[in-house]
């Protein structure tokens, strides 16, 4: 604890020597317990039937024969799968029967701000709260998880997470695998010990690197296996790990088809041999088991990769996630060649660019901050009651994430689905960046540009790193989505050109003056614009360069 954060992550001592077999040797302790060669049968959480979602401590056998203390939702780990059709309402009571605060976040679901799962909305032990909102978005594989301030990592690791699947008739008509051939797989990195418990006791290194385990559970099952027919399967992959990034692969370089990312189907399947799945990300894939030998066993794996600059980290090591055990029965129909249309945002319509600078706390911004483990966003750590910036409802913006730190950071804004525009590390985007996203992985030294438009709900939301230890340590900001203020008088038209703003008012608006502000909200400071308007065909035109601080405009009575 006395050494600096940068010194710790750069050290090349015995921890780095052990990196080939694990971060530290004590994390590789395995019980004297034989796992069946075929693994443990995969199980599936029940479907939520409405009513209450109760979070409560329980004893469950994650490893068969070894009871472990968990946090369960309605008695199960993972929690029940919520499955609704587009247009239906999600109604539930969240009952906190823990001995600590709790709030649940509906990750990727565009619900009202007051029901989104903001940490400031957590309820105390023994309390409950009601949820009731319409599901109005694309079909897709979404999820939910605990989002309690400084307790998110512990609560998610201990079991408070589950699927939230949205269906839509448009998707149903495509002929994709259904029923037993539509398989949700919740992947979570876990750390074993002699007692096979889910002990969450992070040290200083865990808070810096993220809590990395030595085994992977699938739907809460370690060393999981699933008997599959010789047929076409849809696997809904969800990375619910605290910090582990998976590079998904199948067998010995076998091909499979990516059909959906975080927020629904792509325009067409993309054939791949691997894809990255960061914490919070989802990917739906099609696997045709007629491509493999009769009765063969196929492994779902995480392939080796580099990208985290931290010495001693097991991030990027090869591991088996689960096994598919082949059968000699079944038939397969053709995979669809077209899926759902996708209309991308036009980056030239963006009204502004926001930059989010991710830096280490001792990276030249005021020196080392004693005891701090989280990287900073724009030099800030999370404070629950502080609003860090304001976003106008309905405006298209470019959000740039500049990762100047030494770790990978999966960045997740609440309340919006976005598109990845570019990566500084590659001339073209990888398949996992296609379509609609709600979480994007930013590697060390990388700049990732995204297109975001908050057009679902107004109100307070958060932006944070989905490495849950980073989030709990303060790598999170508050922002408000706010409608433009209503001002009596003529309406304005605002255009953003290559190098200037053009604000146009009606010809008869001479009794008003143009005012501008850097941000919206109750503390907005409106100042007069001194540019003299010119009379043009469309009206009074105010022209001034983009390099000023003005972003929002109004007409005020003189």
Gyration radius (Cα) of the chain, Å:
25
For domain 9-39+175-326, the CATH superfamily is Cupredoxins -  blue copper proteins (2.60.40.420)
Mean pLDDT of 226-245: 96
C-alpha distances out from residue 143 to 79, 106, 289, 458, 525, Å: 10, 6, 27, 22, 39
pLDDT digits (tens, 9 = 90+) for 176-218: 999 999 999 999 999 988 888 888 999 988 999 999 999 999 9
pLDDT digits (tens, 9 = 90+) for 66-93: 999 999 999 999 999 999 999 999 999 9
What pLDDT score does 511 carry? 81
Range among 36-45, 402-411, 492-501 rated most confident: 402-411
182's tokens: 């539509």
**Beta pairing, strands 447-453 & 396-403:** antiparallel
Residue 367 has pLDDT above 80, yes or no: no
The dihedral sign for the CA sequence 338, 138, 241, 34: negative
What pLDDT score does 498 carry? 61
Question: Mean pLDDT across the chain, nearest whole number?
Answer: 87
- Other residues' Cβ atoms within 10 Å of the Cβ of residue 178: 9
Beta strands in 341-474 (DSSP E): 352-359, 376-377, 389-392, 396-403, 409-413, 418-423, 440-442, 447-453, 459-465
What pLDDT score does 371 carry? 54
pLDDT digits (tens, 9 = 90+) for 9-52: 444 333 332 333 333 333 333 444 566 777 899 999 999 999 99
State the chain's maximal CA–CA distance in angstroms: 85
What pLDDT score does 417 carry? 98
233's tokens: 């399967």
Percent of the chain with pLDDT over 70: 87
Residue 221 has pLDDT above 90, yes or no: yes
pLDDT digits (tens, 9 = 90+) for 412-458: 999 999 999 999 999 999 999 999 999 999 999 999 999 999 999 99
- Other residues' Cβ atoms within 10 Å of the Cβ of residue 193: 17
Give the three-state DSSP class for 497: coil
Residue 383 has pLDDT above 60, yes or no: yes
What pLDDT score does 18 carry? 30
pLDDT digits (tens, 9 = 90+) for 478-494: 999 987 655 556 777 77
- The three state secondary structure string of 199-217 is CCCCCHHHHHHCCCCCEEE
Q: Which CATH fold topology does 41-172 show? A: Immunoglobulin-like (2.60.40)
What pLDDT score does 3 carry? 41
What pLDDT score does 500 carry? 75
Phi, psi of 356 (to 5 degrees): -115, 110
CB 235 within 8 A of CB 185: yes
CB 60 within 8 A of CB 19: no
Task: Identify which of 102, 81, 100, 82 has the alpha carbon closest to the alpha carbon of residue 91.
Answer: 82
The reply to whether 347-482 shares the fold of 9-39+175-326 is yes
Task: Identify which of 461, 462, 479 has the alpha carbon closest to the alpha carbon of residue 390.
Answer: 479
**Beta pairing, strands 246-250 & 221-222:** unpaired
What pLDDT score does 15 carry? 34
Give the three-state DSSP class for 471: helix
Phi, psi of 15 (to 5 degrees): -60, -40
Q: Which residues of 128-143 are buried (b: 16+ CB within 10 A; e: fewer)?
A: ebebebebebbbbbbb
Range among 45-59, 354-368, 537-551 rated most confident: 45-59
Determine the Cα–Cα distance for residues 516 and 495; give it in Å rounded to an integer.
Answer: 14
The dihedral sign for the CA sequence 4, 10, 16, 17: negative
Predicted TM-score (pTM) of this structure: 0.83
Determine the Cα–Cα distance for residues 97 and 75; give it in Å rounded to an integer.
Answer: 12
539's tokens: 């009206």
Determine the Cα–Cα distance for residues 105 and 439; give it in Å rounded to an integer.
Answer: 14
- Other residues' Cβ atoms within 10 Å of the Cβ of residue 79: 30
pLDDT digits (tens, 9 = 90+) for 311-362: 678 899 999 999 999 877 777 778 889 999 989 999 999 999 999 999 998 7
CATH number for the domain whose boundaries are 347-482: 2.60.40.420
What pLDDT score does 283 carry? 98
Question: Domain extents for the chain?
Answer: 9-39+175-326, 41-172, 347-482, 493-557
What pLDDT score does 34 carry? 62
**Element at 270 (helix H, strand E):** strand 264-272
**Beta pairing, strands 182-190 & 232-239:** parallel
Give the three-state DSSP class for 9: helix
């Amino acid at each position: 604890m006395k050494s600096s954060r940068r010194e710790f992550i750069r050290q090349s001592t015995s921890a780095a020597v052990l990196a080939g077999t694990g971060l530290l040797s004590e994390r590789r302790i395995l019980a004297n317990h034989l796992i069946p060669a075929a693994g443990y049968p995969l199980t599936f959480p029940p479907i939520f039937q409405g009513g209450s979602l109760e979070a409560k401590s329980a004893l469950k056998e994650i490893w068969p024969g070894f009871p472990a203390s968990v946090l369960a939702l309605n008695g199960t780990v993972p929690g029940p799968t919520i499955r609704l059709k587009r247009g239906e309402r999600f109604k539930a009571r969240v009952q906190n029967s823990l001995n600590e605060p709790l709030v649940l976040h509906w990750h990727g679901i565009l619900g009202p701000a007051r029901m989104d799962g903001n940490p400031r909305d957590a309820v105390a032990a023994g309390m409950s709260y009601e949820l009731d909102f319409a599901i109005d978005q694309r079909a897709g594989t979404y999820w939910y998880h605990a989002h309690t301030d400084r307790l998110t990592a512990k609560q998610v690791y201990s079991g408070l997470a589950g699927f939230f699947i949205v269906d839509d008739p448009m998707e149903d008509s495509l002929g994709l695998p259904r029923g037993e051939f539509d398989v949700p797989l919740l992947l979570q990195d876990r750390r074993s010990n002699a007692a096979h418990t889910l002990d969450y006791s992070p040290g200083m290194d865990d808070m810096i690197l993220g809590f990395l385990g030595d085994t992977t559970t699938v739907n809460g099952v370690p060393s999981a296996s699933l008997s599959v027919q010789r047929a076409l399967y849809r696997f809904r992959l969800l990375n619910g790990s605290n910090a582990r990034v998976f590079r998904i692969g199948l067998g010995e370089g076998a091909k499979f088809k990516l059909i959906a990312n975080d927020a629904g189907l792509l325009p067409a399947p993309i054939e791949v041999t691997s894809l990255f799945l960061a914490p919070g990300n989802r990917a739906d894939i099609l696997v045709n088991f007629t491509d493999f030998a009769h009765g063969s066993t196929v492994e779902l794996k995480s392939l080796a990769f580099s990208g985290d600059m931290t010495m001693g980290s097991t991030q990027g090591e090869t591991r088996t996630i689960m096994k598919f055990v082949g059968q000699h029965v079944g038939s397969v129909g053709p995979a669809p060649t077209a899926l759902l249309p996708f209309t991308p945002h036009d980056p030239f319509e963006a009204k502004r660019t926001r930059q989010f600078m991710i830096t280490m706390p001792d990276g030249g911004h005021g020196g080392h901050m004693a005891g701090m483990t989280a990287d900073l966003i724009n030099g800030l750590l999370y404070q629950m009651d502080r609003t860090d910036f304001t976003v106008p409802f309905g405006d298209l913006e470019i959000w740039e994430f500049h990762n100047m730190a030494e770790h990978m950071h999966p960045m997740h804004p609440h309340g919006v689905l976005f598109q990845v525009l570019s990566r500084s590390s590659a001339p073209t985007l990888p398949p996992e960046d296609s379509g609609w996203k709600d979480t994007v992985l930013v590697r060390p030294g990388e700049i990732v540009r995204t297109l975001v438009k908050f057009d679902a709900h107004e109100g307070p939301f958060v932006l944070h790193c989905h490495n849950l230890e980073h989030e709990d340590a303060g790598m999170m900001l508050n922002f408000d989505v706010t409608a433009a203020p209503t001002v009596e008088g003529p309406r304005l038209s605002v255009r953003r050109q290559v190098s200037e703003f053009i604000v146009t008012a009606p010809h008869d608006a001479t009794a008003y003056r143009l005012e501008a502000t850097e941000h919206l909200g109750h503390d907005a400071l409106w100042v007069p614009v001194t540019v003299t308007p010119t009379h043009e065909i469309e009206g009074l035109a105010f022209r001034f360069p983009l390099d000023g601080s003005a972003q929002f405009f109004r007409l005020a009575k003189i």
